[in-house]
Structures are given as C-alpha cells and as structure tokens.
Structure 1
Amino acid sequence: MPPVKTWQLIAGSAVAGLALSAVTVTAAGPWDSGQRKAERDTAASWSPTGGADHAAGSLPQAAPSAPGVLTAIGPGALRKAAAPDSAALAAALEPLLADPALGSARSASVVDAATGEVLYESGSREAMTPASTVKIATASAALAALGPEYRIRTTVVPGAEPGQVVLVGGGDPSLTAMKKAPAGSGGSLVALAADTAQALKAAGTDSVTLGYDDSLYSGPVRHPIGENDNLAPVTALMADEGRPGETPSGAVERSRQPAEDAARAFAALLKERGIKVTADPARAKAPAGAQPLATTLSTPLGGLVERMLTNSDNDIAEALARQTAIASGQPASFEGAEKAVTARLASLGVDTAGARFADGSGLNRADRVSSGLLTGLLVRAGDPKRPELRPVLTGLPVAGFTGTLRTRNSGGSPAAGLVRAKTGTLYGVNALAGTVVAPSGRLVAFAFLSANGPDGPTAERGLDRLAAAVAATS
C-alpha cells in the first residue's frame, strides 16, 4: 500500500469530521475569575462527538456533505496542492494582527504542514500564556508516550485483610458510575461491579469489606488555582469527573473527595448484585502483585485525546499529563507531569526553549508556550510517519459545527467547516491553534496567541478573523 500523503489524510479527516459534526456541545472556556466556565454546557465525556470513541447524534444544524466540502476547497485543488502564497498571507494577516482587541501582546505562526515551510510568523518563538491551547501539547506528549490504543485500567483485587477487596484507581478520566453509559466506550463501575460480584460468588463469598486505593498519583490533588468548577481534585480514582449524582454537563461544584465517592458508588453497585459490604469503604493499599478479580478499561487514549480537545475537558487533560509522567518514570504529580511532557515534546523534535507545562489543562497562568511550538506539534501530527499523533488533528473542534468552535466562524463565514482549531481562553488571554485545508489544497497549521486584551468575546472575534484569513488566503 503506498504511503498516505498528508493532504489526503487531512482532507479525509476534515470531511469525516464534518460528517460527524452531529454535536450539541457548547463548552466555551476556560475562563477564570468566575467569568465563564470551560464546561458550561456539555461535558466532553457525555457528548456524541465523532472519532474513535464517539457515536453519532442528531444534527443541531445542517453540516456540509463531503462533496460540499470538496467544492468549497475548490475543484481539483486537493490533487494540484499548489504551494501557499506567503506574500498574500502576510498582507492579509498583518492588519488583523494589529487589531487592538487582541491586546498588547500577540504571536503568530502559520506553517505549510506538507513541507514544514514557515508561511508567516510574528513573535513565533516568544513563549506566552497559552490557556487551553496547551492541551495540544498535553495530547501530543501522551500519545507519544503511550500510543492511541492504550487503555487505562481500573481493577478490583483481593485485599491484605481477610474478606477484603480493594478498588484500585488507575487514573481513568472516562470512568463512570452511570448505569446507562454515556456516549462511547469507557471504564464502567457498573460492569466492574458485575464482574467482581461474579468472581466473589464463584469463590463462595457474598460478604466483603471494601477498600479503595488512589495512591497512583502523588503531590497535591488540588490544582494551584484552588477549588474550581472547571476541574475536580486530580486523583487516580474518580467517577464521572467528580460530578454529583448523574449531572453530566455544565460547570458544577465538584466533589471534594472523588475517590471516596467512587468507592461508595461501587459499594452500592456490589450490594445491588448480591454482595454485602459490611462497612463504609476506607482507603487501603492494594497488596503488591495482587491478581485482579475484575478489570474495566478506559476509552482508548486516542478517544480521550479527541474528547479533551473537542470540548476542552480539563479533567481529561490533567489525567493524560499524569499518564505521561507514569509512562516516563516520573512521579504522577503536577511537577512530574511537567518534566515528562517537556521531555516527550523535545523527543518529537519541537523547540521547547522557554516553554513551561505547569499543568495539563492550561488553567495555570504559569504555563508558557510559543505559537511556533504549537504549529510544530500540529505539523508532526499530520506527518504520515507519526500516525500515533493523528488524534491531535481529528480531535480539534470544527469551526461552526463542533465543540468549543460550534458558534465561532459559523453561518456564512468562509472558515465554517474548514478550520479545525483548539481554543484557549483565560481572563485577558486568548488563543487559537489548529489547521485548515486552504484553497491551495494544502494543509496549513496556524497558531495565534494574544494577551492583555479588553475582553474575551472581542478577542475571540479577532482570532476568528485571523483563522478565516488563513482559510481564504493561504
């Protein structure tokens, strides 16, 4: 089989993404200072959002068909794939970058993904606060470390005490206690309880004490920003992202003890299946080398990456940063994850000078990323020699149709359906980084970072105009 060309792969991805634009997600963030919430409307884990781990849903609006997308790109353009016009691109972008709405600091990088040629740059090596566009880095590092098919295990093992079983958290952010599973495959406490009950009954046991082990992660469980409705405490054992009851979406007050809550939910599920749990669950250490009685597996890592990017899911982001740390032999903490992510990105050949990955989600203002680093990662994700990074591209929201871009560059915008990009928003910080299949037929990667602007919506419109210009000009 001949190698797949970058433009062929990405054009197919763009068409597939549009066909799977059947999403009702309108997460829009993250904002701090109480301005707006990253998961305001629909959380990633509960949304049918296209890709390896997603199911189709009902269209909120008419999405372009595949022929329509190809027509918009231009007849035969994908086959000709002419080189983008750098001069025309500079003429289009420079006036837009001067927009005061973007604030006093801004950075831009636009690159031909097929060749790696820089088409336009302005301050592209200057490290700035990236907000949620740092999730591109988190995703790239995790995929490089573990691959897209990796699944995180949650297990139940015999405890050290007679009659004890221990629920062991592996850091699965897709783990759910819902009896009706959300869209897509993922770890299920319900299935785990059923398999555990079956194993116990087969061994002649119908009464246990339950422990829970969340010791895989180390360091503070609270993000440096403190308690925040955008992010639960970062623990190795958590169901439904620490949300109360069966609240699937929106920014809500999170559990302060998600590991204990998950264990309580598991105990209730065991009781429903005929296993008596004789006391409240208590923290316990799983014996070394204990063989699992039952196991449930997470959504594949590629699907987790897609969920995270499409809907800017902070809980998934922090979990993936820690999985990268574990795979790299670092402590599963904020500090260990920072070292691991930095090292993995350097191994991909991107310039990490001046970069800092203080967290995986972008909520931390101490994060520092350059626009050139972001486009470098996007180009590598489009490289046929690095198929493990492909979910970085397939997970990007589609302008006017999915995730955090559903209401941006929509309607009659020439960028609707063609731009795929990760948003980033903190108070006074706005960013947009992604790809577009340009009129030339080439895949073009872009990243725009801005800071010290007047307000989010105004800056977002400025960024959208930049992305639209790339779509129309390059």
Structure 2
Amino acid sequence: MARHDRLVMLVTLAMLQVLTIVIGVYAMTTGFSLGALTGGPSPTEPTASPPDGSPSIPVITSGPVLAQLPVRSGDGPLPTKGTLTQQLTRALGDKAIGDRVGAVVLDAATGERIFASGADTAVTPASTTKIVICAAALAALGPDTRLSTKVVQGARPGTVILVGGGDPLLAGPSAKATYPKQAGLATLAARTAATLKSQGVKKVTLSYDTSLFAGPSTPQGWKSSYIPDGNVATVHALAMDEGRQNPRYNAPRVPDPPQYAAAAFARLLDKEGIAVSKSVRAGKAAAGAPELAKVDSAPLYSLVEHTLTQSDNDYAEALMRHVAIKEGQEASFAGGEKAVIAVLQRLGAAQGVSSLSDGSGLSIRNRISPYALAKIIAMAGSPNYPDLHAIASGMPIAGFSGTLGNGRRFVASDSKGQVGLVRAKTGTLNNVNTLAGLATTKDGRLVTFAFMADQVPVNAEPVLDRLAAIVARS
C-alpha cells in the first residue's frame, strides 16, 4: 500500500476510535450496552483465572469521557514529580502486585524518567513481549510489506505446490470477513484454477511447502496446555485461520496446520473444476519455479495493529520469524531472538531486552525491562520514527478495545474515570501481570509507562489499571 493510502487508513482509524468514545458517552447517558456493537475474539493470553469468555463491554458509568479528551499537542508541562512519585509509590505497595515489581514513566518527547522503580531490571514480560517483536518487524520489514502465499508449478507436468508464506491469518473457506482483510485460500484456489485451465490442465497432484520457517514448532517455556487450550497453534509457514479447526473459536487447534490447510485447498480446487489426486503431501518447491497464483496479506502496519490490539500470539510468532528472514538468520525461535535484538540495537532500543524465547510472550523465559518497553513506545509516538507509528495506534484503548475492552479492565472506582484516556498493551500469565502504554497528562504532556510484576499472588490487573490511571490524571 502506498504511503498516502496508509496515512488515509491511519486517519480513518483515528476517526473510528473517536466514534467509539462517542458511543461510550451515549452509553453513559442511556444505559445502552456497547456489547451489542462488539463481538471480536476474546484475548488469547492465558490467565491466572479462567476468563468468562464474554466479548461484550460493560456500560460505562463514569465520565465525562470527551470532556477529558481535548486535542493536545503532547508538549504541555511535565507533571509534578513529587506528587506523581508519592501516588505511584503508594499504589506499588499494594500486596496484590507481589514482591517483584518494575515501573517507569517517561516523557515521550525527551525520554526523561519522570518516575522509576526497578525500571532497568528485566522481568517476565508476558504478552508485552509483542511490543518488542512488532517494533522490530516494522523497522526491519517496513510498514507497507505484505506476506504472500503462492502456488507454483511442480517439477513434473501436472504437479503444483502450495507454498506457505508465513501468514497465519490466511483465511479458510468458512472464515468471515475481518479487519484487517485476510488473504484467502478460496481466492488463491480460484486464481490457480484459472491459470491451470488456461494451460489446458484439469487434473493435478498437489503438495505443500512449509520450508520458509525452520526449527521446532514450539519453544522452551511454553506450557503443554497452551495448544490444547487454544492459546496458540504450533508454528508453521503454512496455516489457515491460525490453525483453528473452526475460525470462530480459539480451540481446538488442529494437530497439523500445514496438512490441514493443504487439504482444504485441494477441496477448493476441486470446486473450481480442477481434480486433485487423493494424496496431498509435504514437498519442496524448486527455486525459481513458475508462479501460478498468489494472494497477499494486509500491509504489515495493520497486521501489527491487529497483533497488539487482540494480543494475537500466532501472528507475533510469525512476525518474529519474518524478522529473522530479513536479517539473514534461521527462521526459528533462536534465529528470531538474534534478529530482533540486532534490529533493536540499530534502533538504539536493545537495552533491557535480554531474552526472547518466543515472540508471543507465552514463554516464561523471556526477560524485558520496563524501561525497554516504555522507550520503544515513546519512539513509536515520535515523528522521528514514522515506521513505528502502528505500535501506538495498535495499543488497546482502556475500556473500549482489545484486551482492555473485555469488561474486566478499568472498571474499579480508582481507574474507570480514565476509560478512553489510556492506551496500553496487556500481559498476563500465571503469576505475571504487565501493562505498558501511553497517555496524555491532564496538562497535555504525552508520557509512556510500563508496570511489570512477575511474582503476583493471584491477580494484579486492578493495581496496574490504577497505576496507569494515576499517570493519565497526573
């Protein structure tokens, strides 16, 4: 997508976010439920306690929202450090957050630390890992990059190969339209069939190539329950609907995503009038094999926004591997770690990123500091790093979207007044709660923050919401 078109899309997204807030104000005064207008997928992060699974957003009962959201340049005066320090320190003393907590608040414009406590200690980040992965992907690949799934000619006449392009959102035949718009197997089958018919071919032998990605399909640090519970699928270069058996539900995930996708493609070819032999097996496309058809993903910036808003574990893993490919590393968990850190070093943002066992943050072996996350978010909001802007626009909005719009966040009396005023990425594992994002202070200063705890007794999400709310109203 051209840069002009991308800017138009970003403006459109901003307008939609304002519309969402307006609907929230309407909900305050009428009792209308925003849940009637929402129905996106539930968060994919494992939680310390089972989620209720409801995608609806509760009626907002406090405000006013729009009255606190003027158009600001982000360069107002800094908040009073003494007052902010006192309030944050008091909140960090809450026993619910546990004994190991890191916290930082940065001035987005200058990088100055407005508040810091354990800010440089790398801890388990959970899904805030995705901030780091998305930053590296945008910087290495560029925001307009698209991922292609192709069908190429096989070595023998009458043979074709479905080549995985590392796009786990490739839509199967029963998937419904979504944003970002997904590349679809049905479209790929129709284009392939048209090419084959033009060549006089009506029967083929199909194989599939997953060689774009390498290494194990699961990393160290994942619980054995993650895949059966539907938190993530095994990682492959070819998958449809992120390995879901039914695209509407996270579970179950299929045991062999590439073979499952290839079998579905064979059925779609048959519907298009191309007979496919019964045996569909893994294979390897020759270098330079003639292309018969392809479909492209949405541009990377919209995929990053999706990954952050919905905390999409599968897409984060794919992005990590694409960074590895771009950087000349093996497209595996280990190669991805090397590549992401190398990109961050070029950006000057590697300090505090000490271990990346995966891209999704499901691994308990990952280690990132609060300062590293807050710095990357500040860069994403800076005009000096335009390619990173999708990180800022992809952050969930408190009380409205993604993993902050699930009806469990920013609902307490000490945080619900900042609904709509905080944008942040969540992180949740057993005994781990993290929150990193950005807000504009009451005097119009743009700040970024990260609050991270990885020895949580039960659930520290309300405390994290309180901390972010303190920043937003400081």
Normalising by structure 2, we get a TM-score of 0.87
Deviation track 1:391-426 (CA, whole Å, cap 9, x = no partner) reads 101111111111110121148712100001111011
- Does residue 409 (structure 1) correspond to residue 410 (structure 2)? The answer is yes
Deviation, 1:85, is 2.0
The equivalent of 1:289 in structure 2 is: 288
**Which residue of 443, 455, 458 corresponds with 1:440?**
443
- SS of the aligned residue for 1:295 comes to strand
- SS of the aligned residue for 1:355 comes to strand
**Which residue of 195, 200, 204 corresponds with 1:199?**
195
1:176-195 matches, within 5 Å, as 176-179=171-174, 181-184=176-179, 185-195=181-191
The equivalent of 1:56 in structure 2 is: none
Deviation track 1:277-311 (CA, whole Å, cap 9, x = no partner) reads 02221111101111210010012111111111111
Deviation, 1:467, is 0.6
On the 8 A contact 2:57/2:399 being kept in 1, the answer is: no
Corresponding letter in the other structure for 1:234: V
Distance 1:129 1:28 in 2: 19
The equivalent of 2:320 in structure 1 is: 321
1:317-356 matches, within 5 Å, as 317-353=316-352, 355-356=354-355
Unmatched tracts of structure 1, length 5 or more: 1-9, 43-58
1:84-103 matches, within 5 Å, as 84-103=79-98
The equivalent of 1:19 in structure 2 is: 19
Deviation track 1:2-42 (CA, whole Å, cap 9, x = no partner) reads xxxxxxxx999876534357643363452268x447x9567
**Which residue of 187, 206, 210 corresponds with 1:210?**
206
On the 8 A contact 1:414/1:472 being kept in 2, the answer is: no
Corresponding letter in the other structure for 2:238: L
Deviation track 1:200-252 (CA, whole Å, cap 9, x = no partner) reads 000000000001000111111124324522110100000001111x3323x31
Distance 2:389 2:87 in 1: 29
Corresponding letter in the other structure for 1:428: N
- Does residue 167 (structure 1) correspond to residue 162 (structure 2)? The answer is yes
Corresponding letter in the other structure for 1:186: Q
Deviation, 1:194, is 0.3
Deviation track 1:151-184 (CA, whole Å, cap 9, x = no partner) reads 0000000011221000000101220113554213
The equivalent of 2:384 in structure 1 is: 385
Distance 1:384 1:424 in 2: 27
Distance 1:300 1:19 in 2: 24
- Does residue 243 (structure 1) correspond to residue 258 (structure 2)? The answer is no
C-alpha spacing 1:195/1:448, structure 2 compared with 1 (3 Å)? same
Distance 1:409 1:163 in 2: 59
Distance 2:361 2:446 in 1: 26
Deviation, 1:61, is 6.6
- SS of the aligned residue for 2:322 comes to helix
Distance 2:265 2:398 in 1: 40
The equivalent of 2:3 in structure 1 is: none
On the 8 A contact 2:352/2:368 being kept in 1, the answer is: no
1:232-271 matches, within 5 Å, as 232-244=233-245, 246-249=246-249, 251-271=250-270
Deviation, 1:69, is 5.3
Distance 1:243 1:319 in 2: 16
Corresponding letter in the other structure for 2:323: T
Deviation, 1:466, is 0.4
Distance 1:450 1:147 in 2: 32
- SS of the aligned residue for 1:463 comes to helix
The equivalent of 1:129 in structure 2 is: 124
The equivalent of 2:274 in structure 1 is: 275
On the 8 A contact 1:173/1:315 being kept in 2, the answer is: yes
RMSD value, Cα: 2.5
On the 8 A contact 2:175/2:247 being kept in 1, the answer is: no
Distance 1:335 1:302 in 2: 24
Distance 1:401 1:26 in 2: 14
C-alpha spacing 1:81/1:11, structure 2 compared with 1 (3 Å)? farther
- Counting matched residue pairs gives 439
Corresponding letter in the other structure for 2:363: N
On the 8 A contact 1:400/1:411 being kept in 2, the answer is: no
C-alpha spacing 1:12/1:292, structure 2 compared with 1 (3 Å)? closer
C-alpha spacing 1:196/1:108, structure 2 compared with 1 (3 Å)? same
Between the aligned residues of both structures, percent identity stands at: 43
On the 8 A contact 2:243/2:253 being kept in 1, the answer is: yes
- Does residue 221 (structure 1) correspond to residue 236 (structure 2)? The answer is no
- Does residue 105 (structure 1) correspond to residue 100 (structure 2)? The answer is yes
Deviation track 1:25-72 (CA, whole Å, cap 9, x = no partner) reads 363452268x447x9567xxxxxxxxxxxxxxxx967799xxx75521
Unmatched tracts of structure 2, length 5 or more: 1-9, 22-36
The equivalent of 1:361 in structure 2 is: 360
Distance 2:97 2:11 in 1: 30
1:421-440 matches, within 5 Å, as 421-440=424-443
The equivalent of 1:4 in structure 2 is: none
The equivalent of 1:50 in structure 2 is: none
Distance 2:271 2:11 in 1: 49
Corresponding letter in the other structure for 1:293: L
C-alpha spacing 1:383/1:421, structure 2 compared with 1 (3 Å)? same
